[in-house]
Structure 1
Amino acid sequence: MPPESISKNHVVALATSKKKEYHQITNEFMERYPSLKIERLTVSKILKKANEYQLQDNNVYTEKTFCHRSVKYPMLELAMNMWVERVTTEEIIISDSIIKEKGRQFAEAFSIPEGSFTFSNGWATKFKKRNGLKKTIMHGEAASAPLEKLPEERRKLQELLSHYNPEDIHI
């Protein structure tokens, strides 16, 4: 079953790998995907922007992405990406407010004027989407206490609770 749409990178890859003329590319697509109509003008426009399409990171965008918009401050984005990478490898929990605050810190470090950029909830959501960050619900206090001290702490708790009636202890 043919795809419903053809990615621009697919057209660029075909053209550059096989060094074909525009009409040859169009004809090949028409043979390969007869249900899709592609005009030579479309191929021409895509190939004129070939460098832009090849530089785009495909794994960030979904089928709903219509055009690529570059970020306003690439150095800020790079610094944030490096920070997220480091924080996630250290298994540190990050929230939207932490992401926004870190963005403000980097913006200040890069001397980005304060009014020219807002670190809103929308910005944080888009940043998480670009970096593949997902919401994770944490339960309990996993790995928060040293396991070697557990028997001793249990003994202390039992000793403390022994002074109370069992009916008065609610867990």
Structure 2
Amino acid sequence: MASHLKGVTKTTMTDEIRRELCKHNKDNPSLTQKKLQEWVHSNYGLQVSQATISNTVKRSLEYLLLPPERGDVKRHKPAKFPDLEKSLYEWILQYQEHVNMTNELIIEKAKKFMKDMYPVDAPDFTFSIGWLGKFKARYGIKNFRRFRESGSIEMEGMEDKLKSIMKVDQFYNGAPFAKRSY
């Protein structure tokens, strides 16, 4: 896609590139924006406008403080309900080891939080799959697939249960987990 700037193709830098640009600018404060453009081009192969460099340098503190796991984000769109999302994220952290977190469960919990947090004038908001993907990206949530019944296993007292299994095995076979012939 061509830019309105002559000879500059539209590109978008990731936050990681922006962070590196801000570090480079901080380490070399005498560099001009033109030199910073050349540095981005030589290190990342991106042609960016002087305005992009200017806006990035202006927001240096913000980019330098971003957590590293957010480095692949290109555009930022703030959440419509940040308090709701923060509560939902805390709920996920608290229950992720006890409950098999599915997309449907997270969406249902978000709807419940919406009703609880905005009881009088609850906004008409659709918790779509698109919203869920962006929510997960904002909070760095990754999907982990649990196989079969692993999500329903109670880990409390597992060591005692394993010891009792080993005692039964020793009783029948004389040695822990001996090979059995059937």
- TM-score normalized by the length of structure 2: 0.58
Q: Which has the larger radius of gyration?
A: 1
Give the alignment partner of residue 74 of structure 1, picking from 74, 79, 82: 82
Unaligned runs of 5+ in 1: 151-171
Instruction: Report the alpha carbon displacement of residue 119 of structure 1 after superposing the two structures with TM.
Output: 1.3
Distance 1:31 1:139, change over 3 A: closer
Percent of residue pairs identical:
20
- Quick one: distance in 2 between partners of 1:34 and 1:137? 38
Give the alignment partner of residue 54 of structure 2, picking from 24, 39, 44: 44
- Quick one: distance in 1 between partners of 2:58 and 2:124? 32
- TM-score normalized by the length of structure 1: 0.61
Aligned residues: 144
5 Å matches for 1:88-167?
88=96, 90-111=97-118, 113-130=121-138, 131-140=140-149, 143=153, 147=161
CA contact (8 A) 1:76 1:110 kept: yes
Q: Which amino acid aligns with 1:45?
A: N
- Quick one: distance in 1 between partners of 2:131 and 2:44? 41
Q: Over aligned residue pairs, what C-alpha RMSD do you find? A: 3.7
- Quick one: distance in 2 between partners of 1:86 and 1:34? 39
- Quick one: distance in 1 between partners of 2:55 and 2:19? 12
Unaligned runs of 5+ in 2: 1-12, 166-182
Distance 1:30 1:54, change over 3 A: closer
Instruction: Report the alpha carbon displacement of residue 81 of structure 1 after superposing the two structures with TM.
Output: 1.3
- Secondary structure of 1:70 counterpart: coil
Mean Cα displacement is larger for which, 132-141 or 34-43?
34-43
